[in-house]
Amino acid sequence: MHRFGHRATIDSPVHFFPHQRQKRQSMTHTATSRPNIVMIVADDMGWYDASYHGGPIPTPSIDRLTREGVELDRFYVCPVCSPTRAGLMTGRYPHRFDMHGSPMQWWETKGLPPSEYTLATALADAGYRRRMAIGKWHLGNSSLAFHPLRRGFTEYYGHYCGMIDYYTHERGGEMDWHRGYEADHTQGYSTNLMTADAVRFLENSRADDPFFLYLAYNAVHTPFQAEPEDEAAMEEAYRDAPVYGREDLVGIDDEAQIARAMERGLSRKDAARHVHVGPEKAGGHGLTFLGMTKCMDDGIGRVLATLERKGLSENTLVVFFSDNGGMWNNYPLRGQKGTTREGGVRVTATVRWPGVLPAGTKSDAMVSYVDILPTLACIAGLRSASPKQLDGSDMLDVLTGATREPDRVLYLGRDLVTDAPTVTNRRWKLYGDELFDLAADVGETTNVAADHRDVVDELREATVAYERLWGRACCPVGVERQKALPEWQMPDIPVDDPNPS
């Protein structure tokens, strides 16, 4: 049971969620066909890990996407991975079905409820015949009811659990690598295998048959493992970047925050890891981390090159973002993965759609992971984005500049270290009882709650409304904790869906 208890789902106050009733405004683009959609998600990539943010790691492919598309300067996600993936697939905050909180561990039995309408299903309804998921799923591994092929995808290649070994593809002592429903024993470095399969999928694509490719890399998540040639290629960049891992670039070492985390049962090492860590402090793996990042960026470059070679680039929307903030190097943002500080939930993101989105621009509009489904569903031509009550908005006309962004409050969840509920609007961020003026203080250094009680009260009211939406988890019937399944073959067992309608 969740520590806040089970909460019945209720309709949200329109005051806080003016975007929930989805009506497609007139689209500004003139494309005669639905675009292909490529969604690329990095794992644990920090704000300062992208070279276009001034960081020391060369990321030319991600930088290219940014130059040719719209840089999303205020793109928000959850503080950890599974919740973000659940929200981007549904357009709904994951606490509605109790998938917010800590990353889903391999022994947990919950998953994305079958009753949730997914992005892949929406695109199927819009006529997208080929819908491929590659890489990290992390939305349930205990029942086939949670399998990607039962959630709207037509093809799947990758792993179900989080944090697999990059070479053996093991998690919990069992190999976790699959094509479709079957175990796949292909050897190789996982990032390269994912890229190769994405290229294969694109090579088999046609301009007259729109497709959806969801490429979810497990890079740059731990374990620290890189191809030797990628490490070697990054030695000069690592040597010439003495600031990498410096304490003043990775956040604020808040001893009080560490103490509060230790009171919640974390060891000092784990608490400090959530608050402040650099690659040298993580066992000297800085060079390996750079190599891992290079491999992923090279893979993105291969995907873009394949789109060009096939003549697909002009009618392909490519969106890239990280599932949460990095464990370090989120400068100048405070905090990191696991926290709802800006460094944990505001991530590197960009979107490119030639001829529709203005190339080489930066948008400071608040965009969220729950906006993905309503935006892409409407771009695909659906009159209604979902039969469910959505928390996200269709943001296309905001990104083209045709309309202003909606006046709204985003729910960022609860900080895994301090348990602080967090919301933000265009200017203000309420983190527990602390208020920050992000327009003047992006580093969240000065609590101004005492000077703006009216803002605190308004945002606290929004927080209460959001947290009333907390629902129950969906789990297999009669299974509370699982052992690692042989080759992670999901059993075909029923699940208890708390909200089947």
Q: What percent of the chain is modeled with pLDDT above 90?
A: 77
What is the pLDDT at residue 183?
A: 98
Per-residue pLDDT of 407-430, as tens digits, reads: 999 999 999 999 999 999 999 999
What is the pLDDT at residue 259?
A: 63
Tell me the two tokens of residue 490.
């999901």
Q: Is 145 helix (H, G, I), strand (E, B) or coil?
A: helix
By the 10 Å C-beta count (0-12 exposed, 13-18 middle, 19+ buried), 259 is classed as exposed
Cβ atoms of 435 and 447 closer than 8 Å: yes
Domains of the chain: 36-408 (3.40.720.10)
Dump the DSSP string for 180-192. Answer: TTEE----S-HHH
With 80 as the cut, is the pLDDT of residue 273 above it? no
Confidence of residue 251 (pLDDT cuts 50, 70, 90): very low
What is the pLDDT at residue 255?
A: 59
Cβ atoms of 268 and 257 closer than 8 Å: no
Tell me the two tokens of residue 336.
């990191």
Helices 372-379, 81-90: crossing angle, 10 deg rounding: 30
Kindly report which listed range (110-119, 180-189, 277-286, 445-454) carries the lowest average pLDDT score.
277-286
Mean pLDDT to the nearest integer, 441-468: 98
Q: How many C-beta atoms lie closer than 10 Å to residue 159's C-beta? A: 26
Please give the Cα distance from 33 to 315 (Å, whole number): 8
Per-residue pLDDT of 280-308, as tens digits, reads: 434 467 889 999 999 999 999 999 999 99
Confidence of residue 476 (pLDDT cuts 50, 70, 90): very high
Phi then psi for residue 246, to 5 deg, are: -65, 145
What is the pLDDT at residue 414?
A: 96
What average pLDDT does the chain have?
88
